[in-house]
């Protein structure tokens, strides 16, 4: 089997305790690779290297333009290796090769975006209200960053952290999920090839006790950028109390997609399918609460049912596959339990509802018509291909139902009424709202949520400032010496 090593301080190595784990191919249910696991001493070594590199003149004094050129080089390498990285990610996580390869290639544009911003991080001269004072601000790197990335969109969720952090001049310890970490451990080779100085980026993985906890509570970590589940996030916040690291959280979601009676039904059906069956439903922005104007509910169900007949479930490496396996067996078990409770609450399963009788973690695409807003499938983030539809009668009710959630990451609206689109999108409590489309991303557009979907934003111009600290510099320009030391000026 292929074996992947940790990448610490510019070199690949095994973990200090020699621990390894095995990763399974979700499409076959069989082991395909092993990987080294970090021990606390490995985390210490990675953070120490990041701290040293932060003050090393090679990185510290590198011009912002030169940092940008390194990011451009990394972007080119990612594009050149997109197919190979995508194949590793597909084998490790079960996501479709068509998506992993294309998404990885597009990720290059995230690094290019931040490469272009690297020499546009500016301070300001302040029109200060005191005579004989020249006062200005400058933005400096926030310091050592712990970037914690989940398995379901690794290259994308790494780029939204690593791109702005490196452009700002920070150093990064990247923690890959112990579930399907192979793509990021392989990605480390491109970081090395791009020419980043030793210690600027390290890539580790391992369990919570040996890796995640020592990293997020380390006293030399200045910022934590975390993507994952709310429960793990609570532990991260507790850990950050040890180092007071600035923390951003990109968490889960239970996103609503509202379909009004004037919507184009074909587009709405495709949006719901994209939001629920795309990436096999393994997306934090999955639009798993479909809210449908009652007069069109039956017609929309019929259209989705007809389109679902053409969905090909199978080998994620095959070009004609639409829906691959789920990453873990635990997801299958969660879906089965959730569907069982929903049926006991009066929900109707129009198609799917069961795992496929074949090797691997395959779940049939499933459509649930819900009896009430309390139906279990509308409450639980299942991370699988389950679409739940609930009817509404008025716009006010649709907005209330959309906001009836602890989460607030994504949302969608399908309508031909432009005024309604503006009106409703303004009232939905979510960080992202797609109108007459769904699941679109760009390095230019901020990404993040409200409520239990976390705080902070990734991508966009704002994100690069999150990896800097503002320093204010006061210069006394008077020819006279400083006056009375006991009076604040």
Q: How far apart are CA 107 and CA 264, in angstroms?
A: 31
The DSSP code for 336 is H
Active site residue 250: yes
Active site residue 284: yes
CB atoms within 10 A of CB 43: 29
Q: Is 343 helix (H, G, I), strand (E, B) or coil?
A: helix
Pairing of β 434-435 and β 412-414? parallel
Q: How far apart are CA 207 and CA 216, in angstroms?
A: 13
Residues 67 and 166 sit within 8 Å (Cβ to Cβ):
yes
- CA proximity to 1, closest of 36, 35, 38: 35
* Residues 215-225: b if buried by 16+ CB within 10 A, e if exposed: bbbbebbbbbb
Residues 405 and 430 sit within 8 Å (Cβ to Cβ):
no
- CA proximity to 317, closest of 86, 93, 97, 92: 97
> 86: which 2 tokens?
């995508």
Query: Which of 170, 211, 284, 370 is flagged as catalytic?
Result: 284
Residues 373 and 390 sit within 8 Å (Cβ to Cβ):
yes
CB atoms within 10 A of CB 469: 15
Q: Is 412 helix (H, G, I), strand (E, B) or coil?
A: strand
Pairing of β 171-176 and β 256-259? unpaired
Query: Which of 99, 178, 250, 376 is flagged as catalytic?
Result: 250
**Residues with catalytic function:** 250, 284
């Amino acid at each position: 089997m292929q074996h992947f090593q940790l990448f610490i301080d510019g070199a690949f190595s095994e973990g200090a305790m020699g621990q390894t784990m095995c990763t399974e191919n979700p499409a076959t249910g069989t082991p395909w690779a092993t990987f080294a696991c970090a021990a606390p001493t490995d985390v210490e070594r990675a953070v120490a290297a990041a701290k040293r590199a932060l003050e090393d003149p090679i990185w510290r004094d590198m011009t912002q333009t030169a940092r940008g050129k390194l990011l451009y080089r990394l972007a080119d390498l990612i594009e050149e290796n997109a197919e190979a990285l995508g194949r590793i990610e597909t084998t490790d996580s079960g996501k479709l090769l068509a998506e992993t390869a294309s998404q990885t290639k597009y990720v290059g544009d995230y690094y290019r975006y931040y490469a272009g911003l690297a020499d546009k991080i500016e301070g300001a001269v302040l029109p200060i209200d005191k005579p004989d004072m020249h006062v200005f601000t400058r933005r400096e790197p926030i310091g050592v960053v712990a970037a914690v990335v989940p398995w379901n969109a690794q290259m994308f969720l790494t780029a939204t952290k690593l791109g702005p952090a490196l452009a700002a001049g920070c150093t990064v310890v990247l923690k890959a999920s112990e579930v399907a970490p192979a793509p990021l451990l392989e990605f480390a080779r491109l970081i090395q090839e791009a020419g980043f100085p030793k210690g600027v980026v390290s890539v580790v993985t391992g369990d919570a006790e040996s890796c995640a906890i020592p990293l997020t509570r380390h006293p030399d970590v200045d910022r934590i950028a975390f993507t994952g589940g709310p429960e793990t996030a609570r532990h991260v916040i507790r850990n950050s109390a040890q180092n007071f690291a600035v923390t951003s959280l990109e968490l889960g979601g239970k996103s609503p997609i509202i379909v009004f009676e004037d919507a184009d039904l074909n587009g709405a059906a495709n949006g719901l399918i994209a939001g629920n069956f795309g990436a096999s439903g393994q997306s934090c922005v999955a639009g798993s609460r479909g809210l449908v104007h009652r007069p069109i509910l039956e017609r929309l169900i019929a259209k989705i049912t007809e389109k679902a007949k053409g969905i090909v479930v199978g080998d994620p490496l095959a070009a004609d596959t639409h829906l691959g396996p789920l990453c873990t067996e635990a997801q299958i078990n969660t879906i089965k339990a959730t569907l069982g409770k929903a049926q006991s609450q009066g929900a109707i399963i129009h198609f799917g509802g069961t795992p496929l009788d074949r090797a691997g973690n395959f779940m049939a695409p499933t459509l649930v018509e819900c009896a009430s807003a309390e139906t279990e499938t509308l409450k639980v983030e299942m991370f699988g291909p389950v679409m739940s539809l609930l009817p509404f009668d008025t716009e006010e009710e649709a907005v209330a139902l959309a906001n009836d959630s602890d989460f607030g990451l994504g949302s969608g609206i399908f309508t031909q009424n432009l005024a309604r689109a503006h009106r409703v999108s303004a009232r939905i409590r979510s960080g992202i709202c797609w109108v007459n489309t769904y699941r679109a991303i760009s390095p230019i557009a901020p990404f993040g949520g409200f409520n239990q979907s976390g705080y902070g934003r990734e991508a966009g111009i704002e994100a690069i400032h999150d990896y800097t600290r503002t320093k204010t510099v006061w210069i006394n320009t008077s020819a006279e010496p400083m006056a009375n030391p006991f009076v604040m000026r």
